[in-house]
Structure 1
Amino acid sequence: MSCTTRSSWTGRNARSCGPLRPAPRWSALPAYLPWAGEHWGNAWITFQPLTKQYSLEVVRGSHQGVQYDGTTFANPDDPTEPLFGDGSLPRLPDVEAERALDPDAYDVASWATEPGDVVVIHPRSLHSGPAVDAGCPDRHTLVLRFFGDDAVFRTLPDVEGHPLRPQRRPLRRGDGEAEPGGPVPLVRLPQARLKRTPP
C-alpha cells in the first residue's frame, strides 16, 4: 500500500471463530463492498498468541490481480459458491482444493502472532482465517479498515433479488456523490442517543 497524505477508518469487525470449523474460507472483500483503489488497509489484530498454522493467510500479490466474485459462505460443500453468480466477476478459486493437489499452487504468507501484533493487508487480497480445530478451538480477532486518498466508489453487480443489490435510495444532502471512480461518499447515519440511568 502506498503512503498517503491522510487516512481515515471505515469500520471494524470483531470476530470470535468457533465452534470448530473444519476448513479455511477464502475471500477478497471488495466483492462485498462498493469501493476500489490502492489506498486501503485492513489491520488484523488477534487477542491471543497464534501459531502460523492458525493465523491469517494471504496470497501474496493477489490484491493486484483478478477481482473475483465473493462466496456466499453458506455451502460447506462448495466454498466458492458465487455471491452474485451473474458472470460479471470470475468465480473465486478453490484455493484449498488446489493446495491439496499442489502445496505450491499459491504463494501463501502467514505469520505467528502475539497479542499486540498487527498484520496489515490490502482487503482485495485473497485471504483466509484457517480452520478452527481442537488445536485452536477459538480465535478472537479485531479488524480495523483504513483508507487514504486513492479510495474510490465502484458499483457492485446489480443482481435482482440479491441481498447486496445496490440500494436505490436518493442521496441526502451531505452524502456526497456516488459516481464510479469518484470519491467514496460519506453517508451520514443517525446518531445513537444513549439514555443515562441515574445511579
Structure 2
Amino acid sequence: MDPIPKKAGLEFIAGSHTWEKMFMPKKFLTNEEYNYKPGSFDSIPDIEANRDQYEILSWDLDLGDCIVFHFKTLHGGPGNLSQRARRRAFSSRWIGDDAVFADRPGETSPPFPELSSFKQGDPLYHPLFPICWER
C-alpha cells in the first residue's frame, strides 16, 4: 500500500512464538492492556529497555510486500505521527481447518459478537472464516 522504512515498521521478537506463554494484548492506539482477569496472561517484557537481549526483526517494505507471522509472536511498532507521510496497512487473520473456538475472558480485538453461541472447542465453521483453500 505504501513503502514503509524499517524504522517506522513493525518489529518482531524472533522465536517468541515458542516461549509457551500467552502475553497480555495491548490496544494499538492507547497501549493499554485489555481488561482480562488478573493472571490470565503474562505481562509483555520491557523490550524497549532491553533491546540488546532480544533478536529483533524488521524490514524495509516496498509496494506489494507482505509479512506473515504466527499470532503468538511478540510484535509492535511505532505509531505514525507524521503529518505528511502516510502509512497504510492491511491486516488479516488466517486459521487452519483444525482451528477451534477458545473462550477467553474479556474483550477481543476485533469483537466477534456473531460467535456468541459457540462453545469451547467448537470448530470455527462460520461465514466470518471462509474456506480459502482445502487440503
TM-score, reference length from structure 1? 0.51
- 1:139-158 aligned at under 5 Å gives the runs 139-157=87-105
1:183 aligns with 2:123: yes
Greater strand proportion: 1
Amino acid at match of 2:12: V
- What is the aligned partner in structure 1 of residue 2 from structure 2? 48
What SS is found at the alignment partner of 2:88? strand
CA offsets 1:72-94 (integer angstroms, 9 cap, x no match): 4575xxx4645325112112223
Evaluate the alpha carbon distance shift between residue 95 and residue 144 of structure 1 in structure 2; reply closer, same or farther with a 3 A threshold: same
Give the 3 Å change call, closer, same or farther, for CA 185–132 of structure 1 in structure 2: same
The CA deviation string for residues 4-50 of structure 1, in whole angstroms up to 9 with x for no partner, is: xxxxxxxxxxxxxxxxxxxxxxxxxxxxxxxxxxxxxxxxxxx1111
Deviations 1:123-150 (A, max 9, x none): 2211113243449743100112222134
Q: Which amino acid aligns with 1:67?
A: M
Return the index of the structure with the highest Cα Rg.
1
Asked if residue 113 in structure 1 is aligned to residue 68 in structure 2, the reply is no
1:69 corresponding residue in structure 2? 24
Letter in 2 for 1:110: S
Measured on the aligned residues, the alpha-carbon RMSD in Å equals: 3.2
The one of 57, 60, 64 equivalent to 2:11 is: 57
Letter in structure 1 aligned against 2:86: D
Partner-residue secondary structure (3-state), 1:98: helix
Q: Aligned ranges for residues 120-131 of structure 1 at < 5 Å?
A: 120-131=68-79
User: Aligned partner of 2:61: which letter?
Assistant: T
Partners of 1:97 and 1:88 in 2: CA distance: 24
